[in-house]
Chain A
Amino acid sequence: MTTKLVGAPIKRVEDPRLITGQAKYIDDLDLPGTLHVTVLRSPYAHALIKSIDTTAAAAAPGVVAVFTGRDFEDLNPLPCAWQAHDTHNAVNTPRALEIEKVTFTGAGVAAIVAENRAAAEDALQLIDVDWEPVDVVVDAEAATADGAPQLHENAPNNVVMDWSIGDPAEVDAALAAADVVIERRLINQRLIPTPMETRGAAATYQPATGEFTVWMTSQAPHVMRLLMTAFVFGIPETQMRCISPQVGGGFGTKIFLYPEYVLVAAIARKLEKPVKWIETRRENYVATTHGRDHITYVTAGAKSDGTITGLKVKTFANLGGILSTIAPGIPTTLYARMLSGAYQIPAIHAQVIGVYTNTGMVDAYRGAGRPEATYVLERILDLVAGELGLDPVDVRRRNFIPPDAFPYDPKILAGLSYDSGEYDKTLTRALEMVDYEAFRTEQQEARAQGRYLGIGFSTYIEMCGVAPSAWVGVGGQGWGAGLWESANVRVHLTGKVVVTTGSQSHGQGHETTMAQVAAEQLGVPLEDVIVQHSDTQGTPFGYGSYGSRSAAVGTIALFNGLQQIKEKARRIGAHMMEAAIDDVVYEDGRVFVRGLPGEAKTIQEIAGAAALGYDLPEGDEPFLDSTSYYDPPNCTYPFGAHIAVVEVDGETGEVDLKRYVAVDDVGKVINPMIVDGQIHGGIAQGVAQALWEEAVYDENGQLISSSLMDYAIPKAHFLPRFELDRTETLSPTNPLGVKGAGEAGTIASTPAVANAVMDALAPLGIKHIDMPLTPEKLWRAMTEAAG
């Protein structure tokens, strides 16, 4: 019998260092003689740099050096690595420090290097920049109009790309034949991801060998090394080691290559001293990537029974002043291609116009494109239901892809098909948990008393486990590399197992879940396995953690490597027992002749023999060691049903989130405690978009919401207890049946809450209000509706 660890709620092995304060985040690194770097950032959203005078700053106490963009002209601009179809000007990317112009407030233009951080901060004020401000545009739709301020000469009308999928004629025909047509302009507001740890980087340089070591807050250290060496510095990849120390959350923002990472490495080389830069929270808000920011025109056609017959979407995706690492891929592949959702929609056309504006860079934020697609669909389904006087639950059921239709090709996924799903099962369970019929009765009573009670649904799907390399890559979706993942497994002489992965963990608990898989497969105690990651020295190249890919891609690479270890252990075990290889089996950490489990060789004995190498089967090398690379044949498609119950205060417009029910299906669950935690956190972030969070730029391109005082991430008392359950529909894509859980909560929850608020306000005739649904907005809408 096999030790069952997969599926068990095992306490995380990474926690002891975290609960005791022993974990070392980037700011905790203490390299002797470290100099501190601060960055002077543009106060203007759009301006030319006429000149920079650094004389006074260079003379300030404690200052070692001052640099401007001119000092790093030998370095290439940072690459944009996901050039979706029709992206013609992807060269508009950040430099270590900007040289001639800036296109958003917060762009770095000069750097101070000082003996301590306080001196480096003080000296910033002494740099004198001669700015020539230029006209500003912050709205993506307005930026494409003739006569709008132009950000880049190579981007007429500020268009990054004008990208589309589907057949417009087919959709027009479907809309013309529809019983009802709904048209809406929906805003999916800009968000600031706000991991609790800001970004940071530290670097050392050895002049004798030309070698760099760079520590950085990265979700993908191998990719950072590749981009920095081959694309920015133009040096051999072997001359840089990149390390992500303990990373305090990322939510997408820490995937990307940022100017400051290049800057610290370049300064370390110039000064031949260790240097460190730690981002302040204010910098994190202006200079780290933001998420979402779509203006969408959607037209949906439906039959009178609620069957959706056609969907036409035109989205202006605001990508900021310059392009972050994978910016064009988010509103195209990860958004538009998911616009069929959980539904059979016969005709879909989507046009996405990526736009430069004088705002901070926009790139992947938890869910990345899929929350935006889900919001469009789930709002539209409710609007269709409202128009036809149908129950939103019935409209969802009428349009669901049925369980026997899988694999299901939504026709807009560039050849991929949804792997598996039982959508109605999660909805049915969620309705049971919320007691839907009782709620509708209660709602009627409340409405009779003039109270605004509402319920909202979101029956989402998402795409995880990104992605088959050839599909996503240069000849496919335009991603400039592959998206397979790697793992190495070694069983040492002592029988202890060392797993290294190309994935990266910054809160997800891979050190536990991957150990669970390895220990179960090999039949060894959990504590005999250690999982290492995040250092380019000692781990195989890997693409890192994002897109809920660490279970469905990274852990599958590990699973495959473990099978290779078991095969070799069988060969060595058979040799040790003088048995024929075909007669022996590997079970529960032991190799024995089938039917004779009493005379077995343990994995520890076999590992010892393999490590010593005194007597091995003909042709076998010493040591139990395997490295595997797994390229998924498909993505995975988790799904679920989320239900929010709200009450809107008729006097103040304040929303009370009374209940939150979530039934998710993320495929096989490796650790239910960790999966629940991922869902909880995701829900909180998605609810926050619906109700509180918004990055606000004024007309001059100043970020008004640039601190934790002004940008409303949820506090504990904003949120109710979450009521969770799950179904488990295995993914046929991989041998573990896993799908991915990191983003589901965020994708699902935003429309569930928005729909609930609109349901609450339905008696007033209010059909739609753009997020965030703040008391002020709701109060105004309610006051206006009441006349």
Chain B
Amino acid sequence: MKVNITVNGAAHERDLEPRRLLVDFLREDLGLTGTNIGCDTSQCGACTVHMDGKPVKACTVLAVQADGATIATIESLASGAQFHPMQEAFWESHGLQCGFCTPGMIMMAIKLVEGDGDLTADKIRHGLNGNLCRCTGYENIVKAVHKAAVAMRD
């Protein structure tokens, strides 16, 4: 099927197998390997990207469903060494260890902060319900999201 998908500002017109997952399109067809795959049941959230401004798990979206959509991946956030406040906060707060969940976690956390001007630790923890991390015990992720929330507001 023919699709038009805009990813990180660039338009892509492709002919895709209907069963192709958005995450495979991003990783294999476009070489955007920053979005990771951690499971095959939509549980882990490592593949979270933004589709038309909403967080989605790219392993649960068919690429053809993204026809006409605008996608943003982890690769779109920084400009050279100028990081997004959420990236900066994860770095500052040691909000990552192995880094595998981090791209999805950061993409989800950005939408969490954008959607709520008054985040508490409890709201952050519940908001990250769909993103699993096995290294950090979430402690420093919660700290990082808090810190980024302040930076993104200012």
A residues 6-41 in Cβ contact with B at 8 Å: 11-12, 14-16, 18-25, 27-28, 30
User: Are the CB atoms of A674 and B94 closer together than 8 Å?
Assistant: yes
User: Are the CB atoms of A20 and B134 closer together than 8 Å?
Assistant: no
User: Are the CB atoms of B78 and A20 closer together than 8 Å?
Assistant: yes
User: Are the CB atoms of B44 and A709 closer together than 8 Å?
Assistant: no
User: Are the CB atoms of B43 and A709 closer together than 8 Å?
Assistant: yes
B-side interface mostly: loop
* Inter-chain contacts of A194 with B (CB < 8 A): 134
User: Are the CB atoms of A21 and B135 closer together than 8 Å?
Assistant: no
User: Are the CB atoms of A681 and B38 closer together than 8 Å?
Assistant: no
Which of B50-58, B63-71, B137-145 lies at the binding interface? Answer: B137-145
Choose one: B41, B100, B125, B138; the contact of A281 (CB below 8 Å).
Answer: B41
A residues 273-301 in Cβ contact with B at 8 Å: 280-282
User: Are the CB atoms of B41 and A18 closer together than 8 Å?
Assistant: no
User: Are the CB atoms of B134 and A681 closer together than 8 Å?
Assistant: yes
Residue of B nearest to A197 (CB): B100
A676 to B143 CA separation, bound complex (whole angstroms): 13
The yes or no answer to B119 lying at the interface (CB within 8 A) is no
User: Are the CB atoms of B94 and A716 closer together than 8 Å?
Assistant: no
Which of A151-159, A208-216, A243-251, A606-614 lies at the binding interface? Answer: A243-251
User: Are the CB atoms of B33 and A21 closer together than 8 Å?
Assistant: yes
A652 to B38 CA separation, bound complex (whole angstroms): 32
User: Are the CB atoms of B40 and A684 closer together than 8 Å?
Assistant: no
* Inter-chain contacts of B87 with A (CB < 8 A): 19-20
Chain A nearest Cβ from B71, distance in angstroms: 13
Choose one: A23, A251, A722; the contact of B99 (CB below 8 Å).
Answer: A23
A-side interface mostly: loop
Chain A nearest Cβ from B105, distance in angstroms: 10
A360 to B26 CA separation, bound complex (whole angstroms): 34
The yes or no answer to B77 lying at the interface (CB within 8 A) is yes
Given known pairs A30-B31, A249-B100, A717-B122, the reply for A685 and B134 (CB within 8 Å) is yes
A783 to B92 CA separation, bound complex (whole angstroms): 48
A residues 666-681 in Cβ contact with B at 8 Å: 673-674, 676-678, 680-681
A673 to B91 CA separation, bound complex (whole angstroms): 11
- Count, chain B residues at interface, CB 8 A: 57
User: Are the CB atoms of B96 and A15 closer together than 8 Å?
Assistant: yes
User: Are the CB atoms of A506 and B134 closer together than 8 Å?
Assistant: no
User: Are the CB atoms of B136 and A677 closer together than 8 Å?
Assistant: yes
User: Are the CB atoms of B99 and A18 closer together than 8 Å?
Assistant: yes
User: Are the CB atoms of A196 and B46 closer together than 8 Å?
Assistant: yes
The yes or no answer to A386 lying at the interface (CB within 8 A) is no
User: Are the CB atoms of A684 and B100 closer together than 8 Å?
Assistant: no
A680 to B31 CA separation, bound complex (whole angstroms): 34
Interface string of B87-103 (1 = CB under 8 A from A): 10011101011111111
Choose one: A251, A678, A717; the contact of B129 (CB below 8 Å).
Answer: A717
User: Are the CB atoms of A722 and B139 closer together than 8 Å?
Assistant: yes
User: Are the CB atoms of A195 and B134 closer together than 8 Å?
Assistant: yes
Among A251, A508, A673, A715, chain B packs the most CB atoms within 10 A around the CB of A715
User: Are the CB atoms of B34 and A21 closer together than 8 Å?
Assistant: yes
The yes or no answer to A198 lying at the interface (CB within 8 A) is yes
Residue of B nearest to A711 (CB): B43
Chain B nearest Cβ from A218, distance in angstroms: 14
User: Are the CB atoms of A684 and B137 closer together than 8 Å?
Assistant: yes
The yes or no answer to B74 lying at the interface (CB within 8 A) is yes
Choose one: A683, A709, A717; the contact of B126 (CB below 8 Å).
Answer: A717
A residues 233-247 in Cβ contact with B at 8 Å: 246-247
User: Are the CB atoms of B100 and A196 closer together than 8 Å?
Assistant: yes
User: Are the CB atoms of B125 and A197 closer together than 8 Å?
Assistant: no
* Inter-chain contacts of B137 with A (CB < 8 A): 680-685, 714, 719, 722, 745
Chain A nearest Cβ from B83, distance in angstroms: 7
User: Are the CB atoms of A18 and B37 closer together than 8 Å?
Assistant: no
A299 to B87 CA separation, bound complex (whole angstroms): 52
* Inter-chain contacts of B36 with A (CB < 8 A): 25, 27, 196-197, 248
User: Are the CB atoms of A196 and B81 closer together than 8 Å?
Assistant: no
The yes or no answer to B121 lying at the interface (CB within 8 A) is yes
State the B residues within 8 Å of A (CB): 17, 19, 27, 31-41, 43-44, 46, 73-75, 77-78, 81, 83, 87, 90-92, 94, 96-103, 106, 121-122, 124-126, 128-129, 131-142
Please give 19 more A-B residue pairs, beta carbons under 8 A apart, in addition to A196-B46, A684-B137. A12-B91, A14-B99, A20-B87, A21-B75, A27-B27, A118-B19, A197-B38, A246-B99, A249-B98, A507-B135, A676-B140, A677-B139, A680-B140, A707-B40, A708-B44, A715-B128, A715-B129, A717-B126, A722-B139
Top 6 A-B pairs ranked by shortest CB distance? A21-B34, A248-B100, A18-B99, A684-B137, A507-B98, A708-B43
